[in-house]
Chains A and B, each alone.
With several copies, the nearest count.
Chain A
Amino acid sequence: MKENPWIKDFPQLNNHLHYFDSAATSLKPVSVIEQVNYYNQELSSNIHRGMYYESQKATELYEEARESVANFINAQSNEIVFTRGTTASLNLVARSFGVNHLNQGDEILTSELEHHSSLIPWQYVANKTGAKIKYIPLSDQGRIALDAFKATISKATKVVAINHVSNVMGYLTPLKEIIAIAHEYGAVVVVDGAQAIQHIPVDVKSLDADFYAFSGHKMLGPTGIGILYGKDDLLSEMEPIEFGGDMALDVMKTQFSWKESPIKFEAGTMPIASVIGLKAAIEYLKNVGLDNIHQYTKDLYDYLIKKLNELDGIELYNHHSDTFIFTFNLKNVPSHDAISYFSEKHIALRAGQHCAKLIHDFLNINASLRGTIYFYNTYKDVDVLVDTMKEAIDYFKKLGF
């Protein structure tokens, strides 16, 4: 058990917090915080239209961030749209592509594993267009399996809206195979990558994903910035859904035209500081290395699971998480009672449905506790967590739960 070399980069960890809530939002390394500061303190100017140094520099950093994102997922930079977050990205696809391409009788294929942001925009589209939502049956474990997918897709399927990694189970979807099959049926695949991008290398070209969405704040970046990758030809023919500011090309009294993608989707002043911070986050992730992150977190997760298996009084819902999310309840203890115990001990977990009601229905539970192992967690964190679980089990048992 060697020292964790990354902790020192995360100022929030000075607070004696055992942070297991990275699936909700990640901590930010100093380099990201400083880059946000650099914009706020030194540049603080608007982009694209200023000629003085600060504005030029901000524009340059903004566009470099776009290249950096493109490079990170093996896309071209004109395929990268900046948004407010994954939710905004997925809604953009639903509102612009979905509403204009689906019709009565068409089907949207999705899963009960989806985060609400990957599900209800498509319920909206279904409602608006007369298309139907269909669900890929989950395996007993709650996984999306290729067989089930093959059995459900049909000629009517026009869109597959699916997560790359589930935010409750941490399961990795067999995306590459799913996309290949979907394309045989002529369906477009919209991937919610919010829980994948910080854990595994994502190559949109090799996946052949049509759309891929994720959030800066879950990958060490600032809040307020999201990404939508879309294939050039798809983005090019899509209408923007917000109008005004720099996206306009020519404006006349009763009509207007817009610029090319991706600028046409970025209406008004964008979250410039967050975009600039995002670039630093990607650099940090690259420096640490996604493979190192994976190895370290896997070892730590295995250590945790071994301890959990020795524990009576907790119910674990995912014994084999691919990205080291662990979701559980204390037996007989409502998750909102349990969470208060952990919070008092400075352990950051999350209680509730994690914006994923359907998987809770599938598990036949109301709510759950969720934690995530990330690379700034330590063996000590895990020891404290497991010890606290033991205490909590005793505590609630004594109370009569």
Chain B
Amino acid sequence: MNNLDHLYREIIMEHYKNPRNKGLVTNDDYKSNRIKNPSCGDDITIQVLVEDGMVKDVKQEASGCSISVASASVLSEIMIGRSVEEAKKIVDTYINMVTNKEFDESVDLEEAAVFSGVKKFPARIKCASIAWVAFKDSLE
């Protein structure tokens, strides 16, 4: 398997083609966060509904490359139903992983683990993390 095959895993392609929790809501209870990276064409919005310390719902709308679109979708799926605490831990672990820093291997990243292939592509790290950064900001 070459580097590119490490990047374009089946799960990623599957999410790219069938993004989950797609479509934004106009509900003020959701915290909404949009990050644009116009020079790459990335434009990602994440909406989060937190109730009683739990991530009740995540909605997303992402355009851009496959990695950024898929990572928004995977994020949304993983996060729904987590405690805010847990969610933050997963975000930090994920971001450490894709940015090639040390990360807590005991944290289960579930499907998000497939984004580890991005490490070999420093220029794509942003694609893989943009949705996660937007999500994290919503939790603060």
Contact = CB atoms under 8 A, between A and B. Distances in A.
Interface in A372-401: 395, 399-401
Contact of B41 (A49, A50, A353): A353
A334 B65 contact: yes
Contacts of A401: 13, 66
Contacts of B38: 249-251, 353, 357
Given A341-B4, A366-B64, A400-B17, A336 B39 contact: no
A234 interface: no
Given A334-B66, A337-B67, A366-B41, A344 B36 contact: no
B96 interface: no
Interface of A: 49-51, 56, 60, 246, 249-251, 334-337, 339-341, 343-344, 351-353, 355, 357, 366-367, 395, 399-401
A51 B118 CA distance: 13
Interface of B: 2-4, 7-8, 13, 17, 36, 38-42, 63-67, 121-124, 127
Given A250-B36, A334-B41, A339-B123, 13 more contacts: A51-B121, A51-B123, A51-B124, A56-B122, A334-B64, A336-B42, A336-B64, A336-B67, A340-B121, A344-B2, A352-B39, A352-B41, A366-B64
Contact of A395 (B3, B4, B123, B124): B4
Q: Output the residue of B4, B36, B121 with the most chain A CB within 10 A.
A: B4
- Which 7 A-B residue pairings sit nearest by Cβ, starting from the closest? A366-B41, A336-B65, A367-B41, A334-B65, A51-B123, A352-B39, A250-B38
A336 B127 contact: yes
Contacts of A251: 38
Contacts of B8: 337, 399
Contacts of B67: 336-337
Contacts of B39: 49, 246, 352-353, 355, 357, 367
